[in-house]
C-alpha cells in the first residue's frame, strides 16, 4: 500500500548526507526547545532525529507586522515553526495572485506560537498553497531547510500524517472538514491497541481523550455488561461526551475484537474539532445498530 511504501527507508537513506548544523547559544536552544515542545510534528522523533532538527533550524526574526514570509504560488524552500507572535494565513482562490494586500485573498486562519506552517509545498513538491504574513510586530520564526525537512521529518512524522489522512477521509464525522483541517488532526492522533475484552473507557472515570475506531469493533455498556447500549465499527467515534460536557465517562467501552483506536487528547480535541462540535453534540448514536437505538442510553440531558 502507499502508506507502507512511504514508511520504507528510501534508497538514499544510507548515503553520506548529513544535516546542516547551525551553532546556537544556550538561550536560543532553550527558546527553541520550548517552541517545539507542544508541536505534534516533533513528538515522534527519536533522540538523534531531534538533535539533527534542533541543529538544522535557523532563527529568523520577523520585526514588523505585515511581513510576507510565504507567498501563495511560490516554490517551497523552508518549513517554519512559530516561537513568538502570530501569523495570518490568506488564500486567494481566484487564481490571479497579484502583489499587494488585495492579491493575498481572504484570511482563512491564524497560526500562533508553538504552531508551524509551510510543510505542504515541501511534502508534495507543490506551489505554496497560501500566503503567510506576520500579524504583529516582533515575531520569531525558526526555519528548517527543505532537504532536512524531507530527509528527517517526512520519513517519520509525515509518514504518519499520510497514513492517517486516508483513514480520516473515510470517517463520516470529519467529512465536512477541509483536507487541511483533517491533516492537522492526523498530526495529533496517537494509536492505541486493545485485545478482545479489554476496557477502553470505564464508566465514571474522568475523560482525557477522544477516540476514533480504526480497526475492529467495540461495545458500549452502562452499568454492567448485560446492558449493552451501543456498538462501534471502523470509522465510528466515542469518548466525546465527557470532553464536551466536562463530565465523567457516561458509559464503558469494551473491545469485542482486536481493536486499534486513534486518540486525540482533550486540548487537541477542543482546538481541532471545534468545526464539528455541532455534529458531535447531535450525533450521540453513531454506529448504533437498529433496535438498540430506542434505549436512548447515552442521553444525559
Ligand atoms: P505551504 O508550503 O503550502 C503555505 O505554504 C502554508 O500555509 C501551507 O504550506 C500550510 O502550512 C499553511 N490551506 C492551505 N495551507 C494552509 C492552510 C489552509 N492553513 C494554513 N496553511 N487552509 C486553512 C485551514 C484553516 C484551508 C483553506 C481553504
106-121 confidence digits (pLDDT tens): 999 999 999 999 999 9
Give the least confident one: 54-58, 127-131, 178-182.
178-182
Give the distance (Å) from ligand 1 centre to CA of residue 246. Answer: 32
69 C-beta closer than 6 A to ligand 1 = no
Residue 38 confidence class, pLDDT cut points 50, 70, 90: confident
Q: Using CB atoms within 10 A of its CB, is residue 92 exposed (0-12), middle (13-18) or buried (19+)?
A: middle
Q: Which helix (H) or strand (E) holds 262?
A: strand 259-265
Alpha carbon distance 180, 192 (integer Å): 24
Give the distance (Å) from ligand 1 centre to CA of residue 130. Answer: 5
105 C-beta closer than 6 A to ligand 1 = no
The reported pLDDT for the residue numbered 96 is 59
Average pLDDT, the chain: 87
Residue closest by Cα to atom 27 of ligand 1: 108
The reported pLDDT for the residue numbered 29 is 95
Q: Which helix (H) or strand (E) holds 180?
A: helix 179-188
287 C-beta closer than 6 A to ligand 1 = no
Q: What are the angstrom distances between the C-alpha of 132 and each of 91, 141, 145, 194?
A: 9, 12, 17, 42
Q: What is the pLDDT of residues 183-215, one digit of tens each?
A: 999 999 999 999 999 999 999 999 999 999 999
ipTM of the complex: 0.89
Give the distance (Å) from ligand 1 centre to CA of residue 166. Answer: 19
**pLDDT above 70: residue 8:** no
The reported pLDDT for the residue numbered 170 is 92
The reported pLDDT for the residue numbered 145 is 97
182 C-beta closer than 6 A to ligand 1 = no
153 C-beta closer than 6 A to ligand 1 = no
Choose which residue among 39, 130, 185 to substitute to test ligand 1 binding: the one with the highest number of ligand atoms within 8 A of its C-beta: 130
Contact 42, 36 (CB under 8 A): yes
132 C-beta closer than 6 A to ligand 1 = yes
Give the distance (Å) from ligand 1 centre to CA of residue 129. Answer: 6
Contact partners, residue 185, CB within 8 Å, separation at least 6: 164, 168, 174, 177, 264, 268, 272, 273
The reported pLDDT for the residue numbered 5 is 47
181 C-beta closer than 6 A to ligand 1 = yes
Q: What are the angstrom distances between the C-alpha of 34 and each of 48, 83, 117, 187, 256?
A: 18, 8, 17, 19, 41
Residue 83 confidence class, pLDDT cut points 50, 70, 90: very high
The reported pLDDT for the residue numbered 297 is 40
Q: Which atom of ligand 1 is nearest to the CA of 181?
A: 24
Mean pLDDT of 3-7: 48
pTM for this model (two decimals): 0.81
Contact partners, residue 220, CB within 8 Å, separation at least 6: 228, 229, 230, 231, 232, 238, 251, 252, 253, 254, 297, 298
Give the distance (Å) from ligand 1 centre to CA of residue 72. Answer: 9
Q: What are the angstrom distances between the C-alpha of 94 and each of 42, 72, 81, 121?
A: 34, 12, 28, 19
Give the distance (Å) from ligand 1 centre to CA of residue 180. Answer: 7
Contact 232, 218 (CB under 8 A): yes
Give the distance (Å) from ligand 1 centre to CA of residue 131. Answer: 8
186 C-beta closer than 6 A to ligand 1 = no
Residue 151 confidence class, pLDDT cut points 50, 70, 90: very high
Give the least confident one: 101-105, 228-232, 235-239.
101-105
Mean pLDDT of 11-38: 86
Place of cell 458500549: 220
195 C-beta closer than 6 A to ligand 1 = no
119 C-beta closer than 6 A to ligand 1 = yes
The reported pLDDT for the residue numbered 279 is 86
The more confident residue out of 121 and 95 is: 121
Residue closest by Cα to atom 4 of ligand 1: 130
Give the distance (Å) from ligand 1 centre to CA of residue 70. Answer: 10
Mean pLDDT of 56-63: 97
For residues 213-230, b (16+ Cβ closer than 10 Å) or e, as one string?
Answer: bbebbbbbbeeeeeebbb
Amino acid at each position: 500500500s502507499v502508506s507502507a511504501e512511504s514508511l520504507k527507508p528510501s534508497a538514499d537513506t544510507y548515503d553520506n548526507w548529513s544535516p546542516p548544523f547551525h551553532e546556537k547559544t544556550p538561550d536560543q536552544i532553550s527558546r527553541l526547545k520550548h517552541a517545539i515542545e507542544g508541536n505534534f510534528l516533533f513528538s515522534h522523533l527519536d533522540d538523534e532525529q531531534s538533535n539533527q532538527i534542533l541543529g538544522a533550524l535557523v532563527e529568523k526574526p520577523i520585526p514588523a507586522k505585515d511581513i510576507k514570509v510565504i507567498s501563495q504560488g511560490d516554490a517551497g524552500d523552508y518549513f517554519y515553526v512559530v516561537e513568538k507572535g502570530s501569523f495570518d494565513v490568506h488564500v486567494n482562490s481566484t487564481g490571479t495572485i497579484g502583489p499587494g494586500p488585495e492579491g493575498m485573498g481572504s484570511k482563512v486562519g491564524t497560526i500562533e506560537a508553538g504552531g508551524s506552517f509551510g510543510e505542504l509545498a515541501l511534502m508534495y513538491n507543490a506551489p505554496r498553497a497560501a500566503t503567510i504574513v506576520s500579524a504583529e510586530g516582533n515575531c520569531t520564526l525558526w526555519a528548517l531547510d527543505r532537504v532536512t525537512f524531507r530527509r528527517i521529518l517526512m520519513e517519520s512524522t509525515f509518514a504518519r500524517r499520510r497514513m492517517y489522512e486516508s483513514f480520516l477521509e473515510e470517517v463520516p464525522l470529519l467529512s465536512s472538514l477541509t483536507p487541511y483541517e483533517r491533516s492537522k488532526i492526523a498530526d495529533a492522533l496517537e494509536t492505541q491497541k486493545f485485545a478482545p475484552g479489554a476496557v477502553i473507557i470505564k464508566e465514571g472515570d474522568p475523560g482525557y481523550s477522544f477516540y476514533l475506531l480504526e480497526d475492529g469493533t467495540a461495545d458500549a455498556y452502562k452499568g454492567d455488561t448485560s446492558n449493552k447500549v451501543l456498538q462501534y465499527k471502523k470509522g465510528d467515534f466515542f469518548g466525546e461526551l465527557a470532553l464536551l460536557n466536562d463530565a465523567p465517562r457516561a458509559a464503558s467501552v469494551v473491545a469485542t475484537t482486536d481493536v486499534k483506536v486513534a486518540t486525540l487528547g482533550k486540548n487537541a480535541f477542543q482546538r481541532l474539532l471545534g468545526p464539528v462540535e455541532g455534529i458531535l453534540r447531535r450525533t450521540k448514536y453513531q454506529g448504533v445498530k437498529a433496535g438498540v437505538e430506542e434505549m436512548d442510553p447515552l442521553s444525559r440531558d
